[in-house]
Structure 1
Amino acid sequence: MASLVSMVGRIYQAFSPPQQPAKVGDALKFGILGAASIAYVKNIHGRSLTPLTYKLRPLALIIPAKSHPEVIVQAVSARDRKKADDFARSHGIPEVRDSYEDIIHDPNIDCVFIPLPNSLHYEWAVRAIRAGKHVLLEKPSVSNSTEAEILFNLPELSQPNGPVLLEAFHSRFFPAWSYFRSLIDPANVVHINAVSMIPWWLTSKDDIHFNYELSGGSIMAMGTYNLAALRLFFDAEPEECLNCEVHAYTDGIHDKCDYDFRAQFRFPNGGIGEASSTLKGPTSWTPSHVTVTNKEIIMEDKSLPESQLKAQKQELTLHGFVHGLFWHRVDIKDVYEIRDQNTGNVIRKWEEKTSQKAYTFKEAGGDFADLPGEPYWTSYRHQLEQFVNRIKGRKTQHWVDRSDSIAQMKMLDMAYEKSGLGPRPTSSFR
């Protein structure tokens, strides 16, 4: 019961964080390109039920900004002015602009947040950077690796005191992710399996996920989290996509957009990474999880007779690796065997299992113990902390650098090529 009360309190504070009484004088002013509409849960008869509290833009920037003394969400723009007006009124944003151009060319705006459909990320990130704005760019950063190579190698990004560009891979900034990664020695990893999902009742054919021209697809949606987990925990880039099975609608309209996928990759040390996700999952939401399996090691045990040996195989699982604030758990399972050295027969076998959570860096311990954060900080709030630190010239403990984002898009392309659907289309913008 105590843990349930703690969880409810933590989540409540995540959506209603203590607000800073006053922002500092040199606070960064953000402009948002695009206005979110409220997502409604629909029952099987199509009737709208209660509005979801999961709203991408408020969770990704507006709510975290409330508790950050150096961030002000100043303006929003949308192609539909009424939508922008309603969004601004709902979230206390003081200014509404008529166009995206008005935001990126406003000298009063320091940073631009781009949560537009995937196909528009490249164009508006380039435009914003050329206008001298810092850019917080929703993941996946762009539609394919061709766009990534151009965007992340823009000359403006290499200039002293030039714009800061960050692919908003929020999950990688959460304490539990850092703690889990600290437990892994990539040289010992032989297999990784990453699984994620979205229930069927949160998607429909009309969603941008199923629009090829908008660079939709399950690999581009939740799948990008899975593929990032493989790359980061192997600490390497895949050499080959061995297979990628997908399912897509076959109506001639949405047939290039996968609603689920299962892919397998080979990594340089011979390890195998598997990833699967669906946008048409079961009714009950199953938390994402990634399991890392280490190679077997033979342990010295002088208590055993010379004819026997002791073997250990370790398996580590991070449950809830996408949105760890709501719920997560790190499981460490060690499987031991006592074997006869001559026959290989197993004489005795047992398991030892421990679990750990890290809602703060203090809980993560080790090198992370002194890093800032509160139990109610979402991964987005931790991400915002580092984004501001980088802009202000302060040390950043976690970051997604440009080469990382390019490599990520190459892996997505690799999966789409193997699937037969092909990479998402390249923008005509130059």
Structure 2
Amino acid sequence: MSLSQLKRIYWAFNPPTVEKRTDALRFGIIGAANSAAWALIIPAKLHPEVVIQAVAARDRKRAEEFAKKNGIPEVKDSYQELLDDPNIDCILVPLPNALHFEWAVKAIRAGKHVLLEKPSVSNSIEAEILFKMPELDQPNPPVLLEAFHYRFHPIWSVFMSLVNPADVVHVDTYSMIPWWFVNKDHIHFNYNLAGGTMMGMGTYNFAALRLIFGAEPEECISADVKAFTEGVHHDCDYEFKAKFRFPNGCIGEAFSTLQGPTVWHPSYATVTHRQVEVPDKTLPPSQEKFVTREVTIHGFIHAIFWHRVDVKESYEIRDKSTKKVIKKWTESRSQKAHTPKEAGGDLANLEGETYWMSFRYQLEAFVNRVKGRETAYWVDREDSLNQMKMVDMAYEKSGLGVRPTSKFQAN
């Protein structure tokens, strides 16, 4: 690991605190989840328009400890008290999956803007209700964002600029967490809390496939899982490999495990395009040129640590009449982008520092939406609904069944 990389990671987790504006949005956090530090607390230190005002947890003592550790000024006695506070503008929901639906619905009905941890809900039944709430179609509705943070990082924009969805024929995606990071008793493996790897890291893979193809899967061809079978862990996959058919017979594959090898392997997505003709005026009229492009993004989920986009283009020159290959060669290049300026293109003039995590870029977009400003990228409601349909499709094919629907009645 280089010195510059170490410095970047240090500043990512120990960022300089910026001066807050008087019109800063005041966030409340429902639940004292460790993930809140990555999702909001650290990014908020770098945002002049965000203040973490309050937290509530099932156990007040735990909430008090969380508040003290993170410099949060207020502790509420209950989730509902947090929602009832007129001084709170926005809510972060980092609760276990099974509680997302209830508290996102309640927060929206309380008029709060909601940053909702992925997966948004437990299944597409809940997604249909949440993302079609009438409150979200009113003038000046609350902002609701499913927190697929990696999609906001500049390197994802670079990667997608090199992908032509119309020409993609195959995509392979990979993500993992080592076995020592998540034990069997973690909420990821609790069926009643909508646990499972496809609900955890797998959602990143599924979202990547949908974005790369620019389409929704028509069928889950296979979903092979390794799953726990006893107690609260029953039907919770700790590893899976799924294959989907997209329009025009294209194939997307996803592998993820929460019980991976000891050494962490960065996530990746490899995209193979069909061979296409390339205009080349330097060639004689009797010849034609073709290219097959392969693009791989490494480390896309947590790009702050390490990432890279590799492009490999395989060229052929053929005789037009005989189709005989006259010449073949391959060209390769790589690119990194920690900031919008490094990404270039439409992002070049946007703000960003090398130590900004994807969560910080996500928070920038969220605040801009709340403030009525334009955003370079967004995850809309239809996108989130389709995402849960894909997750359900895979769980049905696996034989484990979709995750249970909440008993909370939204109507």
TM-score range, shorter chain: over 0.9
CA-to-partner distance for each residue in 1:245-303, whole Å, 9 max, x for gaps?
11102335423100011111111132111111001111110000001110012345677
| Residue type of the alignment partner of 2:180 | W
Conservation of the 8 A alpha-carbon contact between 2:93 and 2:117: yes
CA distance in 2, matches of 1:191, 1:73: 43
How is 1:341-356 mapped onto 2 (pairs within 5 angstroms)? 348-356=327-335
Q: Could you say which residue in structure 1 is the equivalent of 2:22?
A: 25
CA distance in 1, matches of 2:281, 2:103: 64
Q: Could you say which residue in structure 2 is the equivalent of 1:110?
A: 89
Q: Could you say which residue in structure 2 is the equivalent of 1:317?
A: 296
Q: Could you say which residue in structure 2 is the equivalent of 1:175?
A: 154
Q: Could you say which residue in structure 1 is the equivalent of 2:383?
A: 404
How is 1:22-421 mapped onto 2 (pairs within 5 angstroms)? 23-36=20-33, 55-299=34-278, 310-338=289-317, 348-421=327-400
Conservation of the 8 A alpha-carbon contact between 2:192 and 2:232: no
Conservation of the 8 A alpha-carbon contact between 2:229 and 2:236: no
| Residue type of the alignment partner of 1:30 | F
CA-to-partner distance for each residue in 1:130-180, whole Å, 9 max, x for gaps?
111111000000000110010011111111122111111111100001111
- Structure 1 counterpart SS, 2:243: strand
- Structure 2 counterpart SS, 1:269: helix
Normalising to structure 2: TM-score of the pair? 0.95
Residue 337 (structure 1) shift = 3.5
| Residue type of the alignment partner of 2:12 | A
- Structure 1 counterpart SS, 2:171: strand
Residue 325 (structure 1) shift = 1.5
Conservation of the 8 A alpha-carbon contact between 1:187 and 1:269: no
| Residue type of the alignment partner of 2:148 | F
2:404 is the counterpart of 1:425: yes
More deviation, 265-274/210-219:
265-274
| Residue type of the alignment partner of 2:109 | R
Q: Could you say which residue in structure 2 is the equivalent of 1:52?
A: none
CA distance in 1, matches of 2:277, 2:157: 28
1:363–1:163 distance in 2 versus 1, CA, 3 Å: same
CA distance in 1, matches of 2:282, 2:344: 33
| Residue type of the alignment partner of 1:356 | Q
| Residue type of the alignment partner of 2:107 | A
- Structure 2 counterpart SS, 1:245: strand
Q: How many residues align?
A: 409
Equivalent of 2:4 in 3, 6, 9: 6
| Residue type of the alignment partner of 1:104 | L
Residue 57 (structure 1) shift = 1.2
Normalising to structure 1: TM-score of the pair? 0.91
CA-atom RMSD in angstroms: 1.8
- Structure 2 counterpart SS, 1:219: helix
CA-to-partner distance for each residue in 1:308-365, whole Å, 9 max, x for gaps?
6543211000101111121110100011235577876766543211000111111111
CA distance in 1, matches of 2:232, 2:140: 45
CA-to-partner distance for each residue in 1:365-419, whole Å, 9 max, x for gaps?
1111111111111111111111111111111111111001000000000110111
CA distance in 2, matches of 1:162, 1:311: 49
Conservation of the 8 A alpha-carbon contact between 2:26 and 2:90: yes
CA distance in 1, matches of 2:284, 2:354: 49
CA distance in 2, matches of 1:111, 1:56: 17
- Structure 2 counterpart SS, 1:422: coil
- Structure 1 counterpart SS, 2:351: coil
CA distance in 1, matches of 2:283, 2:22: 68
Identity of aligned residues (%): 66
Conservation of the 8 A alpha-carbon contact between 2:150 and 2:301: yes
Q: Could you say which residue in structure 2 is the equivalent of 1:43?
A: none
Q: Which runs of 5+ in 1 are unaligned?
A: 37-54
1:400–1:303 distance in 2 versus 1, CA, 3 Å: closer
Q: Which runs of 5+ in 2 are unaligned?
A: none
